[in-house]
Structures are given as structure tokens and as C-alpha cells.
Amino acid sequence: MHMSSPNGKIAEIHQQEAEVKTLEAPAGYRIFNRIVDWITNDRMQLINVTERINEIVRKSGIRDGIVHLQSLHTTTAVFINEWQDALLHDVRAFLDDLVSREEYYRHNDPAYSDCERKNADSHLRGMVMGQSLCLQVRNSAVLLGTWQSIILAEFDGPRSRSMSIQVSGV
């Protein structure tokens, strides 16, 4: 394994350092686990889970580290975007378009599959968007930019959905 050596140019990009902090773990490395459930109402539904995740991070008592989120279902996803009604409408339309529900899929064909939910599109949307997300914990909160929200996406609701949240660090 070798480090890649860039052969392109990053001309005209000014870099500026902003913040340095090193933490020698005083209280020691710890792990905090919790599973949270959501009941969804629509086939495709976007849920802003940012505040819920922050509550759990605060409860964990961990000040600096990593929070790992994983939805435990293949027909869901977890990702980041701005939480704005107009944009959320565009997100749903985009995902509808990216993976058509009407297409022929073997997963929906009784000749090939015993799945009765006809949810091949849900599987493909969940696969492309991803079911897990790792974020930084800083000062007992999830580190996010001003416009970044954590979104849990339901692609085959209504159902009950579980997310496993692990906070680790010091």
C-alpha cells in the first residue's frame, strides 16, 4: 500500500488553519450505546433526527469523540442535508426519479422472489444513500455546519424503524 501522489494541480487554493486541540483522555475512553425507534407514516418520509441525536450525545457524558448512527433496515437511509421544506420536496422528487418505482425488478417478481412488499426501489434508494453515518462529537454536541441536519429517510413505510447510536470517546 502506498500513499497516492496527486498528479493534478490545486493551484490558487489558499489554505488557512483555524483551530488546534489535542485531548489527553483524562477520564478514559468510553462507549455509550442506545437504540431509538421511530414510527413512520408515509412510504417515503424524511425525518430530522438532529435534536434527538444531540440529546443522546449529551446524555452519554462524552465530550469529544465520534457518534456513529446506523439504521438497522435496508430500505432506509441516514444522510445530511439542509432541513428546508422546499428542498425536502426536491429531495423526494430526485430520489423518486433516480430509482423509478415502476421499472421491472426481479425482487418484485414472484417468479424470482418471495418478497411481497414490491420494494426493490426502496432497497436501491437505501443502498445509494447509505444506512450509516459517522460524525464528530465536540463539546458534548454533534459537530455540524450551520445548515447541516441529520436526516433519517424512510423508503418503505409506514413502519417502525430502529437506529443504533454509539457515542465513543472521552
Span 67-96, contacts to its own copies by CB under 8 A: 68, 70-74, 79-91, 94
168 near its own copies, judged by CB under 8 A:
yes
118 near its own copies, judged by CB under 8 A:
no
In the window 132-161, what residues touch its own copies (CB under 8 A)? 132-136, 138, 141-149
As measured in angstroms, the least distance from the Cβ of 92 to its own copies is: 10
Q: Are 77 and 70 in contact (CB under 8 A)?
A: no
Q: In this chain, which of 36, 43, 118, 140 binds its own copies, going by CB under 8 A?
A: 36
Site residue total, its own copies (CB under 8 A): 106
Count Cβ atoms below 10 Å from residue 168 Cβ, excluding itself. Answer: 16
Euclidean distance between CA atoms 14 and 59, whole angstroms: 39
30 near its own copies, judged by CB under 8 A:
yes
Q: In this chain, which of 101, 117, 118, 162 binds its own copies, going by CB under 8 A?
A: 162
39 near its own copies, judged by CB under 8 A:
yes
Euclidean distance between CA atoms 133 and 99, whole angstroms: 22
Q: In this chain, which of 96, 116, 159, 164 binds its own copies, going by CB under 8 A?
A: 164
As measured in angstroms, the least distance from the Cβ of 94 to its own copies is: 5
Amino acid at 74: T
Residues 6+ apart with CB under 8 A from 88: 46
Q: In this chain, which of 113, 118, 140, 159 binds its own copies, going by CB under 8 A?
A: 113
102 near its own copies, judged by CB under 8 A:
no
Q: Which residue has the cell 477520564?
A: 27
Euclidean distance between CA atoms 99 and 104, whole angstroms: 11
Q: Which residue has the cell 437511509?
A: 77
As measured in angstroms, the least distance from the Cβ of 43 to its own copies is: 15
Q: Are 68 and 16 in contact (CB under 8 A)?
A: no
C-alpha cell at 158: 409506514
